[in-house]
Structure 1
Amino acid sequence: MNVLYIHTNEERDKEIFVAFAGTDSVISEYTAPRPEEANESYAPGLLKAMEESGADVVFATGYFPIVSIACEAMKKKYIAYCQRPYNPSLYSCTLVNEANVVFVPDYTVYENFNREGFTNVLFMPLGVAEEAIAADVTEEDSEGEEGIDLTITQNVATRDSLPFNLLAAASPLKDSTKGYLEGCIACRHQIRGLPSMYQYLPPYIKEDIGANIKMDLASDSVETAASYFDNRSFNDLVTVADRDIHFGTLFKNDHFRKIRIYGNYSGYVDKTSDEEDRKWDISSSPSLARGPEFASAVRKSKINLIIPHRNWISGISGRTFDTFAAGGFVMSPVMGDIAGLFETMKEALYVDEFNMASRSVYYKNHPTERVEIVNSILSELRANHTYLCRIEGMFANI
């Protein structure tokens, strides 16, 4: 099969491209349109590349409406392997094109599109490069009592850093509206799986938002206000609260004395005590890029706490997959796709901050069980979750 591979800026793009070398496909390359590039300037080059390559299929790690239009016109299949749970471009009216076979990495997102009649939107989780999957771990990897108790490799942004913060002082919303939204966020950070926040707002709150906040949509977008405000603002705000409170819960727990933070953390990280025998070892460093240093850090830690962004409804985030592949033990909130794809992880998933604290302490003090879970996940990754597995799964749907 001839494939025109359209490169994107997604961080896994090169790894997925390399995995294509393990297939029998003939691969040609092109690049995705730049955000500011007009369809009229991009389309001629794309059509020429499609014709010269003799491609049967166009593949990209994202969905681009102009690529769909071109594939529809040229009678080619377009496989879009989306890397994020929320993709504004999927609300383009081009999604109905028969050329499209679109894969989303979150099963609940897939169900939502399927419920609306989009049978060409399918589920395909993220994956890992085969060469990135570590060897099995042993209890010695976490260095016993001398090892790192807790590692966090995610940013905890402040609200001020969010690009679209409806609760900012400069927001034109009424104070009463902001107060109501604050209450909603305070409730929602405590549990996952709730329905749309916007959808269930009272009419007077929606009216204030509609009157003062303009939705910045593409000209061909049919995205609803619920999707727009949930995914671009409310979920950001809930994630900030979620991470701050959950990370803080483990910081305050006496069982976690050696803590490593890799990322921007705005919270208070010092631990002090009147008792001289209590010694804390906490350090905060810049974010770690995916690679050997990241893999070493998470593999050595007894607990790796991962709080996925709230745009992930049931899916497995890239950070979770990377930590799995490195041989790190992950403590995560209940995510349906983790439970469905990795049976041994079910007992390590938590439902609230109290459940998180108790389970984290339990697994910190039970290295044999940690090792069994991690090695089971590594085995499952090798068998079913490499990029080659993903490519084979996607092409099986054509």
Structure 2
Amino acid sequence: MTTTAEQADRPAPPRRTPRLHYGWVVAAVSLVVLVGSAGFRSAPGLMMDALHNEFGWSHATISSAVSVNLTLYGLTAPFAAALMDRFGVRLVVVCALLTIATGSGLTILMTQPWQLILCWGVLVGLGSGSMAGAFATTISGRWFQARQGLVTGVLTAAGAAGNLVFMPVLAALVEHQGWRTAVVVISLAATAVAVPVLVLMRERPADLGLLPYGATEEPPPPRTDGSALVRSLRVLREASRTTPFWLLAGSFAICGATTAGLVGTHFIPAAHDHGMPVTTGASLLALVGVFDVVGTIASGWFTDRFDSTRLLITYYALRGLSLLFLPQLFGDALRPPLLAFVIFYGLDWVATVPPTVALCRRYFGQDAPIVFGWVLAAHQIGAAAVAGLAGLARDRFGDYDATWYAAGALCVIAVGCCVALRRVKQTAVMTA
């Protein structure tokens, strides 16, 4: 007969090791969410001329709603990361998707610019920010120890894949059915992808008796004490005392300025200024999304194997070079040089995300998702500033040429930030 003491001395039974780790299911659900909710990012550039023609609003006025959207998208991210730790990923993501659906759907009733800012700027901005980089960083960090870079790259690329799915469809809807039909489709898509989150999303591997994929021991328990607001601000205060934070935030602000702020918002109207049909411009931007998927997944693979600062230096240098050539490539029809830009630029679009996330983990440990949320806030502030300024430049000068050259110059500054980051020792890790 086995005594109680003998039973206590027995080792705990090993954790289950299923053939398919559930982390891959969670990653797949996350990918579906990011693809299905990506339509909101496609819409502003597609609707700019339609809103201008119907309401007489200037490019600067419409761009201001995009600026509010991008700003809130970024500022919400660090708080969303803390909310996910405290209340769970499933609750935060479902609420975010329904907020996007509400904001997008209500735009069909608007008649004044402030309503566009409220619906598309505030509501969609808050909803999308709650599923920004913090979502991908939280999922890859909780469920994966091995392949973190690859998973981050795949989830980051999901947004581009969503643009690939939505962009041509939304462009055709805007042109043939009107912009109201397009925003209703976005609203329905955001609502639909909430279903797999409710059914399949799980919070942590431990909930299923699993370790993170590739892990050999239980990770430290998450910090969920205190309010999400207090924790997010505390992490910001501590991170802002370190040099790596400011170098990462500065370079990522330029990343946002030269992608979502400029190309994502103004590429289609810029192409239209040169006589190119809106549907052709939208198809080209969707093609950017195709190659972005390839580039970002490849970047995740590279991040698992190569120094992240070297990768960022390469990415920003190549992006700046491509933007300097863009003004000479536009025309009234698609020509090989512009197609070459789309391919080259697309490979680099958000390839910066996996190495930036990896550097946040290197310097800030467990607080990396929240720190990356603040770095992403800088990304979106940069994007918002340039989205608005580019609209003003278009109204003032009649074209976007100056903005492309300025964006190329900004990339040189980003390269400088990453060179400086290489000289910072990892002793700057924030351990609080």
- TM class by smaller structure: under 0.3
More helix by share: 2
RCO greater where, 1 or 2, for CA within 8 Å and sep 6 or more? 2
TM-score, normalised via structure 1 length: 0.28
More strand by share: 1
